[in-house]
Amino acid sequence: MTAGERRRPLSRNVATLLLRHGVTAPTIPEISPEPATSGTVSVTPDHGIAGGWGTWIVRFTVGEEPIQELGGLRVQLPEAWHAGIRNSAFRLQASTPREPNFVAASASRPGVVVQAFVELESDLAIDKAGRWSNLSDRAGYYSYVTRVIIRHGRLEPGDRLSVVYGETAGGSRGFRAGINRAGPLPILVAVDHDGSGRHRLHRDRPTLTLHAGSPADLFAVAPSDVVAGEPFALRLALIDEHANPAPAPAPGARLSLEVVEGAVDVPSSVVVPDGRAWVEAECVATSPGVLRIRVTEPRLRLDVVSNPARVHSTPPPTRTYWGDLHSHTEISNDGVGSGADAYDYARHVAALDFYSRTDHNAFFEAGGTADFDAYTRLADERNDPGRFATIHGAEVSFGAPYGHHNVFFRAESMMVADEYSATLPELWKSLAGAEALTIPHHTMKMPSPIDWTDGDDPRLRRNFEIFSAHGLSEAFDPYHPLAVDQSLFTNASLSQRAGMSAQRAWEEGRRLSTIASNDDHRAQPGLPHQGVVAVRATGLTRAEVFDALHARRTYATTGARIVLDFSAGGVEMGGMGRAAGGRPVPIRVGAVGTDLIDLVEVLRHIDGQPGFAVIAELAPLERQLDWAFDDDREAVAGAAIYYVRLRQRGRVRGLIAMAWSSPVWIDAEA
């Protein structure tokens, strides 16, 4: 849906829907510029639990102005109240009383007959149809409008017209609230008093609040690199079954801490106060090694072991920092949740070190500079150098052959052209002189085909999103358990043979390091099963994180904070080196897993030969490994590309946990 389509009158399909229900009425539900002031709007109840079932009633009490026959209401709940599983909406329907999410209407005056229907109703239980609402002037998956028409009679002052979300009389289980904590957010109601088809937005905006469910899980995150004798924070957060931050119930949650590996001083317990969802525990490592800390809360039946932290005797020149560079909020047509929620989640719940909110750039083009200025200002306000770095970014979703790219800036941001007004080469041209990066993503899913042979800008395109919640883009392998074909993140999809895999990009000569990110659309960045990126940076500032990305000092994981080291020919991952022809290339792999390491593979591509081959593999079944061998080059001539992929034994939220190093490029001498 284009930016222009967002603002067109909502006219299509309305006549068909009215006729289906036997109603003759104006087909264009116009919105008048004058607000409605007669009557009152209320909602009961005014809250719910994320993902919970129930019945909510929006009532309009008629004021001094009656509602005539063929008049009625149009009602829009907050978008977050429709957010469902698989990055989709739960279907709202007025067709089948026995099925979930049935909406109905009734009038308090006897003899008045009313009819409710959902504008642009879908038949899909998991609904990803794009809609535009002229109540909110918003396009997206979650813009459901319920229309109620008086088919017979009229409503007088004091009468009530009720819209029931989750009517159960016909056997429906009720209405399932959206799965994301949100609110309070306003309900929009427009009134047609005279049956003309012209609706006026009512001045009353009752609100709905979605609370998190009970704590069902616990995040415990330590820095991946710490120094003996220096304090560090173990960041702890309670979440519900839908990963919402879940405030501790009274009298609060007492979390017990126990060292399970390494030498570290930790408090015996910390308290998450009643009404809060996160807390930090100050710890001090006392000697070099690897440390892990168990955190338990018996009352809530929570038990988790932190990710591993490497303890250094002296400060290392670079440290491993974790971030999510692909995340959406309510600004995007396919997102919900506020920017403030996203930054809080990134820092305090997912315990990321850096974060970029990458909403769709097309909507800044539609909304103008005011929206963009507010967007960038919030990123600046949440930036906390040394503790939490925010990176300015946005998504530009080009079609074939370029594909979707996220744009990032080292310092100051700028509004860039969107996919409807420019091509990728034109975007690159507009970034000339800027300190920026453009990172492609979900290239094995869509659009198809992707073909980059007509142009490249290695100054701006230096990284590649190998994994996200959409699935894996390492190579064409539809049967891989992380393939696009196996993903339940969104609608059913197929891996594209004409897609751009990481291996294909490398074979074609593009020097791109690996990253992974969530592509979250719920203001929940950094989820532990949907992709995060590790950078080796000299410090935790915007500039230092950007410089690490630009220097290709990165690697990708599915979300598990696996510590990974890899070098070939003495060159660290992301780098380039030379090796004398015919001489062995020393390979070094080090890893500290969050679980047992099931399999480690070293892959190699030789220039002029097809594909990548596994040249060595190891099944350590340990949490830590140090592996070294020499790749015998006597039988192989030509430049080579090496990289490592690692797989752990346990699953995280039902998905296998993996990591992919960035490549090392070795140009063999003649």
**Lowest mean pLDDT across 2-16, 105-119, 178-192, 249-263:** 2-16
Instruction: Report how far Cα 560 is from the mean position of its chain's Cα atoms.
Output: 16
Predicted confidence (pLDDT) per residue in 243-260, tens digit:
999 999 888 899 999 999
**Which uninterrupted H or E stretch holds 378?**
helix 369-382
Say whether pLDDT at 234 is over 60.
yes
pLDDT at residue number 6: 33
Predicted confidence (pLDDT) per residue in 289-314, tens digit:
999 999 999 999 999 999 999 999 99
Share of the chain above pLDDT 70, in %: 94
Query: What secondary structure letter does DSSP report for 417?
Result: -
Q: How much is the average pLDDT of 272-285?
A: 95
pLDDT at residue number 28: 53
Compute the chain's Rg from CA coordinates: 27
pLDDT at residue number 123: 87
| CA dist 210 → 139, 166, 512 (Å) | 22, 16, 42
CA angle 39, 42, 46 (to 5 degrees): 170
Nearest to 140 by CA among 4, 336, 359, 396: 336
| CA dist 606 → 499, 501, 503, 539, 589 (Å) | 22, 17, 12, 35, 20
- Residues 6 or more apart whose CB falls under 8 angstroms from that of 524 comprise 180, 243, 244, 337, 342, 345, 349, 350, 518
Phi and psi at residue 265, to the nearest 5°: -90, 120
Residues written for the chain:
670
Phi and psi at residue 193, to the nearest 5°: -80, -35
pLDDT at residue number 493: 85
Distance, CA of 406 to CA of 396 (rounded, Å): 6
Q: What is the pTM of this model?
A: 0.93
pLDDT at residue number 438: 97
* Residue 60 in tokens: 């309009």
> In order of start, what are the domains of the chain with their CATH numbers?
4-211 (2.60.40), 217-316 (2.60.40.10), 317-554 (3.20.20.140), 560-670 (2.60.40.10)
Say whether pLDDT at 27 is over 60.
no
Strand partners, 465: 515
Q: How confident is the model at residue 131 (pLDDT cuts 50, 70, 90)?
A: confident
How crowded is residue 427: how many other Cβ atoms within 10 Å of its Cβ?
24
Q: How confident is the model at residue 319 (pLDDT cuts 50, 70, 90)?
A: very high
**Which uninterrupted H or E stretch holds 341?**
helix 339-344
* Residue 270 in tokens: 């910390």
Q: How many CA atoms lie within 13 A of 219 on its CB side?
A: 33
Predicted confidence (pLDDT) per residue in 322-363, tens digit:
999 999 999 888 899 999 999 999 999 999 999 999 999 887
Q: Detail the DSSP E strand segments found in 273-356.
A: 278-285, 289-297, 302-305, 309-312, 319-324, 354-355
pLDDT at residue number 22: 46
- Residues 6 or more apart whose CB falls under 8 angstroms from that of 377 comprise none
Predicted confidence (pLDDT) per residue in 392-406, tens digit:
999 999 999 999 999
* Residue 131 in tokens: 């809609």
Residue 423 burial (CB < 10 Å; 0-12/13-18/19+)?
Answer: middle
Distance, CA of 2 to CA of 421 (rounded, Å): 11
Predicted confidence (pLDDT) per residue in 147-194, tens digit:
999 999 999 999 999 999 999 999 999 999 999 999 899 999 999 999
Q: How much is the average pLDDT of 98-114?
A: 97
How crowded is residue 81: how many other Cβ atoms within 10 Å of its Cβ?
28
